Structure 1
Amino acid sequence: MLKTAREAAEIIREHQDDSITIVSHMDADGISSAALMSLTLDRLNIDHQVKFVRMLYREVIDELELEKLTIFTDLGSSQLRNLRRKFKNNDIIIADHHSPQEEGWSRLTHFNAHLEGFDGVEEISGAGMAYLIAKELDPENKDLAALALVGAIGDVQNAWGKLRGYNQNIAKDGEEAGVLNRETDLLLYGRHTQPIFKALKNLTDPPIPGVSNTVEGCVSMLKDLDIPYKTKKGYRRPVELSDEEKQKLASELITRAITHVPEELTEYVPGLIIGKVHTLLNENERSMLRGADEFSTCINSTARHEQPLIGYEVAMGDRDVYYRSMLNLLKYHRRCIAEGMTYIDQNGLENGPEGYIQYFDASDVLKETFVGTIASLTIGHEKSDPYKPIVGIVKKDGSAKISARCSKLLFLKGLDMARAIRAAAETVGGEGGGHAVACGARVDEDKIPKFITEFENRLIEAA
């Protein structure tokens, strides 16, 4: 693995007097990847620019400028056919963890997790691949390990209650550099920022009877367990619980979840309640950037609203203008979530022809960059079935943006939607790809019914 990372590092050194372009995916992992690579080049005083794209569709590649060196982070491996057409005579580096679809060519330095013997779904993210190149350029770049893990967690590579594979090595680097702490704790989102009852209310994967989506139920459970949820100083946060309180709470949550989860999935429940959490030690104790999970959500929200450069600057270290812009964008993000979930409340979901998937069409309500967020949140909605994949659709100008999501339980059971969505999209003349737990496609609007049928059938065949 490190051999190819060294080759990529050497290519960068050869172009240190040239202007380099970084092209990255517009999500948490992609923004983390770009920021990590950009920080690395800054430290070497190498001039560069950064561009974010949702996907390397043919028309997107046509708009990219030809540079003496282009570095693609967190994307590229699945679009080699499109890239070869334009970049075959130029030096490019791809640092990616998605499954490659074709062979490379002479001027491509292809640093891909799967080609290096690692599972890009479980063991390392795009930011992790960029980190390995950064460390080859300078071993002192170990302090960037925390940012690499923000990318990995943004791609749900902690779905097992811990990070796996090379992510563990990266976490160790972060600990050694003094920028990261990892410990076993309750896997509650908002450990550093939210009241205990709110963090519990948002625990919907797996669904917890009497807890998920109900503040009253959370408060009642805490009272029954004799766990105070507020003091004279205000509401307590999950990080303020004692070890004894955490043990009592974990036991209750696991017991409740197991009684309502299909028997074949019960073995996964404890790992979704208790696991490794990652704290960024250089961030303020009550900051939304203190926990790696919240950090990834923050920068992902900027991408969802087509402002990835705000997330990029925050990931680069800005805690002033861009950080405040991100917080303002988060407020808007929450309003959009409320509108999206109100739509689900009022309209519900439709089932695929075979009843294996559920979907919604929010073309008049959501931006296409936001449909994946609502699809993710709908997994925990009372009108959805957490044991069926969810597909969100937004139509615009004759084309349809499609996002598919599934619960962690389905993912841990072995469901891989990425392969199915890619094949289904290609069958109807579109393009698709992504991750096992979160993926997307673009197809012609009139092909949506056929796509839904193809996607559902391929998932059934793979089950």
Structure 2
Amino acid sequence: MSLMNKTPDRRKFLDSLEMGVSYFSDYSTNFNKVVTISHNDADGISCLLIIQNLLYKMNLAYDYFIYNRSVSWKNYLNGIFPKRKDKKTAYIFTDVGSNLSELIPIIKTRPEYFFILDHHEVESIITPDEYPENLIFINPTLYGFDGLDHVAGATLAYMFAKRLKSSIIKQGWLTVIGIAGDSLKSMDKLQSFNKEVYQELAMEEVFIDKEGLILFGSMHSSIKNGLKHSILPFVEGFGGETDKKIKKSLSDSGIDPNKKVIDLTDHEINKIQEITNLNSIGNYAVLPQKQGLLKFAFEHALLLNILCFKNISAALSVIQLKKVTRYAKNVYLEYVDSLAKNLKILSNELPKFETEKAIFINVKGKIPPSNWSDTASFCSVNELLDPYKIIFLGGLEKKSQTIKLSIRCTRKFLEENNGRGVNTVISGIKEELGGTGGGHKLAGGIRLSRASYKRLKQDVDRFIEY
């Protein structure tokens, strides 16, 4: 359901939020336990802890589960629901749950109350009068808001929780992590409710808002490492390069390569922008109660995203720590180093096949399959290639002998194509060429036979315009 051109209706969204809050407040005295189900990324983990803090403050017993979208809701929930149905249990979904066509038939058979707080676009058009009485569905995209630019999952969870317990503001740093991880931009570029909540929390001194050189991925490190490992922006000519080359460029400009990014003077920042041809001044969030890598909201969120796919227990642990563990730090450094090198390879070395609407990139064994998705994502976010074309990055997967593709597009592409994005293109490809896969407007993936891949390359513009 495309809402790209729909004007946001602030009043209607806030009315729906207030109604959901009222329902939860009124019925909470009947709940013996509240189960939270959240997504396995930084935004989802932040949502989970915000809601857990709320339930603790309300003296409600709680439990939680993490959903990674690898199985259907039916199979997943069958493993969670108790055999005996219990009206005194409630479920809160955060950062997931907009698959209403799949969830509503399940919820209709249950006596429990379901509160869904999600910011992803609803996959099918279902009107509120079709919702079962035990479903309270709160989603800002229904009212014209953008789920990435306007309202992160953690923003929505915070707005919900704060209306029930104003003291939740002390946990607002969790919201900042969620916003940083989902928005993928400097904090001065935030919009709508993300911006409002961020500014409110800054005024309450829950975190510190700072302005400076933005090298997201390495804000906690030296300028040498910052230029080498920054993934947003990716600094062409420096990203993924050798220490020797970066040190020489900095030293030749009179800048200490080991000076911390956050300690650079205005003169040094201007000099760095000259030698890198970079324009990257902006605002970033610092969490004063934390140390090192965890002190910086974007880096904290990125670490959570990495751990969520490697070790979910470590992710749930590290968000509550003041200082990063050695294991988590090593995982983080390995990730940013590999990603920066892969973005360099993509920019300079990989063969590309271009049409009017698409760019195909064959990794040719130079980027491991496990890194294809993130490399494609940060290539798109950084607009390393033509932002008005869809990126198809991938190659032959030896195990399955199929062509695996990570597909990405930019906001600029969506605006020029009336909101038609990656998920729609993938649906059209599957309908005609077969294959398996899916995604959302900006990102997705598909596996195709070699013959189908050949046909896709020959006729890709038709699938994009279809």
Scaled to the shorter chain, the TM-score interval is: 0.7 to 0.9
CA spacing shift, 1:221–1:421, aligned 2, 3 Å: same
C-alpha deviation, 1:82, in angstroms: 1.1
For residues 44-55 of structure 1, the aligned pairs below 5 Å read 44-55=58-69
Hey, what does 1:237 align to over in structure 2? 260
Among candidates 70, 80, 103, match of residue 91 of structure 2: 70
The 3-state SS of whatever aligns with 2:189 is coil
Distance verdict in 2 for CA 1:401–1:145, change over 3 Å:
farther
Task: Output the amino acid matched with 1:422.
Answer: N
**1:309 pairs with 313, 317, 321, which one?**
313
Q: Distance in 2 between matches of 1:344 and 1:113?
A: 36
SS at match of 1:288: helix
* CA spacing shift, 1:136–1:419, aligned 2, 3 Å: farther
Q: CA deviation at 1:159?
A: 6.1
2:37 equivalent among 13, 18, 23? 23
CA 1:341–1:159 in 2, change beyond 3 Å: closer, same or farther?
Answer: closer
Alignment length (residue pairs): 426
- Stretches of structure 2 that go unaligned for 5 or more consecutive residues are 1-12, 83-88
- The correspondence for 1:170, drawn from 185, 193, 197, is 197
Task: State the Cα distance separating 1:333 from its structure 2 match.
Answer: 4.5
The equivalent of 2:425 in structure 1 is 424
User: Is the Cα–Cα contact under 8 Å of residues 375 and 405 in structure 1 kept in the other structure?
Assistant: yes
Cα deviation digits, residues 34-73 of structure 1 (max 9, x gap): 2222222233232222222222753x43221337422221
State the TM-score, normalized to the length of structure 2: 0.76
Partners of 2:458 and 2:300 in 1: CA distance: 36
Q: Percent identity?
A: 22
Shift of 1:75: 2.0
The answer on whether the counterparts of 1:280 and 1:292 sit within 8 Å (CA) in structure 2 is yes
What amino acid is aligned across from residue 40 of structure 2 in structure 1?
A: M
Counterpart position of 1:404? 407
SS in 2 for 1:178: coil
The equivalent of 1:96 in structure 2 is 118
* Structure 1 residue 8, shift from structure 2 partner: 3.0
Larger radius of gyration: 2
Q: Which residue of 2 aligns with 1:266?
A: none
Q: Is the 8 A contact 1:424 1:451 kept in 2?
A: no
Is the 8 Å Cα contact of residues 432 and 440 (structure 1) preserved in structure 2? Answer: yes
CA 362–238 in structure 1, closer or farther in 2 if over 3 Å, else same: same
Does 2:135 correspond to 1:131?
no
Aligned amino acid, residue 62 of structure 1:
N
Letter in 2 for 1:139: S
Structural mapping, 1:144-183, within 5 Å: 144-158=171-185, 162-183=189-210
In structure 2, how many angstroms separate the alpha carbons of the residues matched to 1:451 and 1:30? 38
AA aligned to 1:55 is R
Tell me, in whole angstroms, the C-alpha distance in 2 between the residues paired with 1:445 and 1:86: 35
Q: Tell me the residue number matched to 1:299.
A: 304
Does the 8 A contact of 1:424 with 1:458 survive in 2? no
Residue 332 of structure 1 and its aligned partner are, at CA, apart by 6.2
Change (3 A) 1:80 1:132: same
Say whether 1:461 aligns with 2:459.
Answer: no
Q: Tell me how far apart the structure 1 counterparts of residues 107 and 366 of structure 2 sit (CA, whole Å).
A: 38
Quote the offset at 1:420 in angstroms.
2.7
Q: Please state whether the residue corresponding to 2:211 is helix, strand or coil.
A: strand
Structure 2 CA distance for aligned equivalents of residues 460 and 281 of structure 1: 47
Instruction: State the secondary structure of the residue aligned to 1:155.
Output: helix
1:222 has 2:250 as partner: yes
C-alpha distance in 2 between matches for 1:361 and 1:355: 20
Offset from partner CA, 1:300-320 (integer Å, 9 cap, x none):
001222x223212322x2347
CA spacing shift, 1:336–1:41, aligned 2, 3 Å: farther
| 1:282 equivalenced with 2:285 (yes/no) | no
- Contact 1:144–1:174 (Cα < 8 Å) also in 2: no
- SS at 2:115 equivalent: strand
Matched residue SS, 2:254: coil
